Structure 1
Amino acid sequence: MATSGPAGSLRAVSAPRRHALLFAAQFFAFGVILPFLPAVLAARGMTATEVALALAIGSALRLVAGPMGGRLADALGGPRIVLALGAAAAALAALGFLAASGFALLLLAYAAMSVAMAPIVPLTDAATVAAARREGFDYGRVRSAGSVAFILAALAAGQAVALLGTDAATLMIAAGLAATALAALALPAGPAPPAGARGGLAGFLAPLAIPGFRRLVLVSALIQGSHAFYYAFGTLTWQAAGLGEGLIGALWAIGVIAEILLFFWGRGVVQRLGPMGLSLVAAGAGLLRWAATAFTTDPLLLFPLQVLHAGSFGAQHLAAMMVLGRIVPAQQAGTAQTLHAALGVGLPMGVLTLACGPLFASFGGGGYLVMALLCAAAIPASLALGAALRR
């Protein structure tokens, strides 16, 4: 019997396109959340201090909820149900912003959204990496749909907020998350978990017993964490140097465009380099990017430096997906992806963001030099990762 409804119609679409739609839907939501969620909270009555506190609490909750969602997905035999329920719950929580006012209710809505959203991206990565290995399509090309959606959503949200106010951003976030739930339901159901699959704490920590996984977490923490100063203080540094808002927006955009180009057309290069080579490229790109950015605010130099985002972020992301797809058993894929997202990206990014405040206050753009040192440390860590993968 044919399945009716939007999710059923999506099942007639090829597997790569279904996974691309899933990435596009969730990154549409994130393309609104990242630039406009603070404005949404402020418009509903939060002070600047309360917004900062709420964002910090949301980050802490995601660090815990993400791996828990990954473990649940593995116990269920695949991420489809966790993805769909999480995205649907996050959409409902986002709509709560329209009714809530005052710190307590807004914090409750944001906390619920943070917990529900936490496993969405890493579980989508887990599902897509597994499907790409099984069916032979290019993970990077599929993942590029998310980056394209992120840019388009950020641009559209800017116009919508200017015309209609911050409630428009809230509705766009909820719509993107609801679409994510539908796209998740269109994924094929995973196999039943093996009878011997470990549950509880043993299953939760199982990926950490894999030497290559531990090495990967360290490399990702150093390289992805090195972006903390850029994400937190890049715009402020350029504003202080007199760069206009339009120019700053273009600088951010060129980095994401370079990332998209790598994801979409870089399959041959990725396969030739392998995970260790990609991590070395990422470390080298980050070292050059941050060391040079520490000493210049000249747009003629910043634009080519921003192209290195394809290396410093994109290459390491692809390296991580290759490693996780190779060394982690299928029944631990969700747990491994969410642990890597928490320990290799979220936790170091949060800690380093806190450290970047004093760095910026004391040294301005010179704080980028500390980020360059992190990338320098990632070079021997990448070589150690390669050695672990060869064993």
Structure 2
Amino acid sequence: MPAKSASEPFITPELRATAFYFSIYMAGAAFNVYGGIWFADKGLSSEQIGIINAVPVLVTLLLNIVVGRVADKASDWRQVIVFGCGLGALIPIALFYVHDFWGILIIWTLALLPINVIGPVVDAATMRMTRRRGTQYGPIRAWGTVGYMVTLFAVGWVISQFGGGIFLPMFVGLSILRGLVAFGLPRFRGGDGELKPPVTGATHLGAVMKPFFLLPLVGFSMVYATHIVLNAFQALLWMEQGLSADLIAPLLALAAFAEAAIMFAFGRIARRFSARSLILLSAATAVFRWICMGFQPGLEFLIPLQLLHAFTFALGFMGCVNFIANWTSDEIAAEAQGFFQMLQQAMSVVALVAFGWLTGLMGAQAYFVAAAFAFVGAVLIWLSITMQGPKRPAEARLG
């Protein structure tokens, strides 16, 4: 990170972006702790809860690229981010007034949609800003995971003390907090303290839609989907293996700690390896991790396997964000990142449909199917590397 100039304020653009990342996943963490139980307390069936969780993903799938294109055409990406967070702060208030399936479905979808679609915009904007200023995106993004972990423990404790009735006020309050913090975001497109010009690259998405560009993004999206599917059943499978709840929570937390750690260190790693090399390592590690999990290992093996989350998810995700930035210009930064998120969501839907019944049929051996899925993803990434080398050696080291 470059030395701070005398004229630069103490609260730098990086610090303001870090504060926002710290807040962005808090409401989601609160939902992960108690949201399913809250839905059930409202009298919703498991099928209805599944629909409520799936609809926002499907709608986001359709809107990601559109919102990214709008953000790229704005004078600054900040405008779309703040607007989305404002909607994401106000709409959840309506959850206090809906009690039936259709009302909850509509309000829940409208509440999540603005936040879901601005996620790629935030990642693209922060990546571009840090590259121009000579700083690092990884540590900023890592604080999002830290905020998520802090909220997991805090919400769990608060609900244990005050009961489930506190969940909705907490969820709405954290959504409002995120909206307020968004107003502190900096301008992302140029400004004082910049060391480097914007990276040159494709100026429209069609120009870069070639196999060498698509294959690693599709490949890692397959790896990402295995995390989504198996995380949904991981705690249940561990309970069936005889692990107690007081062991499951720390095991899940280990993965989040590992994710944050690799993001903090990513800048040093990316200077030595190309983006696709890191994505390929992520996929290969995922194959190994899921094969091991399929054998239902004991606690002494589960601890290092959970730490591998740093490689199977965080390393691959960061590699993809850097890879996209290497080959695209500011004109399509958010649109390209939105396309990547669309691939992840599409693969997750495919994986949920294909693997959901396998978990009930095969139990922990469903991990072997996940390993095969991740292996196909690794092959796609490897094919991309054989087709087209890094754009330039210097940029390869950057990610």
Residue of structure 1 in register with 2:270 after alignment? 270
Q: Residues 301, 289 of structure 1: CA spacing in aligned structure 2 closer, same or farther, 3 A cutoff?
A: same
The Cα of 1:12 is off from its aligned counterpart by: 6.1
Moved over 4 A (4+): none
Query: CA separation in 2, counterparts of 1:213 and 1:178?
Result: 38
Of 17-26 and 74-83, deviating more is: 74-83
Partner of 2:229: 229
Question: What letter matches 2:88 in structure 1?
Answer: A
Aligned equivalent of 1:341? 341
Q: Distance in 2 between matches of 1:17 and 1:320?
A: 23
Q: Any idea what SS the aligned residue of 1:243 has?
A: coil
Work out the percentage of aligned pairs sharing the same amino acid: 22
In 2: Cα distance, 1:316 partner to 1:154 partner? 24
Kept after mapping to 2: 8 A contact 1:70/1:123: yes
Distance of 2:155 and 2:104 partners within structure 1: 21
Moved more, 173-182 or 288-297: 173-182
- Count of aligned pairs: 370
Counterpart CA distance in 2 for 1:335 and 1:206 is: 11
Q: Which stretch of structure 1 is more off in the superposition, 136-145 or 158-167?
A: 158-167
2:129 is aligned to 131
Q: Which amino acid aligns with 1:373?
A: A
- Is contact 2:220-2:283 (8 Å) kept? no
Task: After TM superposition, give the deviation of residue 207 of structure 1 in Å.
Answer: 6.7
Relative to structure 1, the CA distance from residue 356 to residue 267 in structure 2 (aligned partners, 3 Å threshold; closer, same or farther) is: same
Q: Distance between the aligned counterparts of 2:229 and 2:189, measured in 1? A: 42
Gaps of 5+ in 2: 1-8, 191-202, 392-399
Q: Is the 8 A contact 1:324 1:337 kept in 2?
A: yes
Q: Structure 1 residues 208 and 235, CA, compared in 2 at 3 Å: closer, same or farther? A: farther
1:223–1:374: 8 Å Cα contact kept in structure 2?
yes
Question: Does 1:364 pair with 2:357?
Answer: no
Contact 2:30 2:152 (8 Å CA) reproduced: yes
Deviation of residue 120 (structure 1)? 2.5
Structure 2 counterpart of 1:355? 354
For residue 379 of structure 2, what is the aligned residue in structure 1? 380
- 1:290 to 2:290 alignment: yes
**1:66: which partner in 2?**
64
Please tell me whether the aligned partners of residues 88 and 179 of structure 2 are also in contact (alpha carbons under 8 angstroms).
no
Corresponding residue number in structure 2 for 1:315 = 315
Instruction: Give the AA of the match of 2:155.
Output: A
User: Residues 62 and 115 of structure 1 are in contact (CA less than 8 Å); yes or no, is this contact kept in structure 2?
Assistant: yes
Q: Could you tell me how far apart the structure 2 residues matched to 1:86 and 1:43 are?
A: 29
- C-alpha contact 1:207 1:332 (8 A) present in aligned 2: no
The superposition leaves residues 130-189 of structure 1 with CA deviations (integer Å, 9 ceiling, x where unpaired) of 011111111111111001111111111112223334443323333333333333333333
What does 1:98-247 correspond to in 2, within 5 Å? 98-189=96-187, 191=189, 206=206, 209-247=209-247
SS at 2:296 equivalent: coil
Bigger mean CA offset, 153-162 vs 297-306 = 153-162
Asked if 2 retains the 8 angstrom alpha-carbon contact of 1:94 and 1:170, the reply is no
User: C-alpha root-mean-square deviation of aligned residues, in Å?
Assistant: 2.1
Letter in 1 for 2:283: A
Mapped partners of 1:37, 1:231: distance in 2: 16
TM-score (norm 2): 0.87
Q: Is the 8 A contact 2:241 2:296 kept in 1?
A: no
Distance 2:350 2:238 in 1: 23
12, 22, 31: which one pairs with 1:14?
A: 12
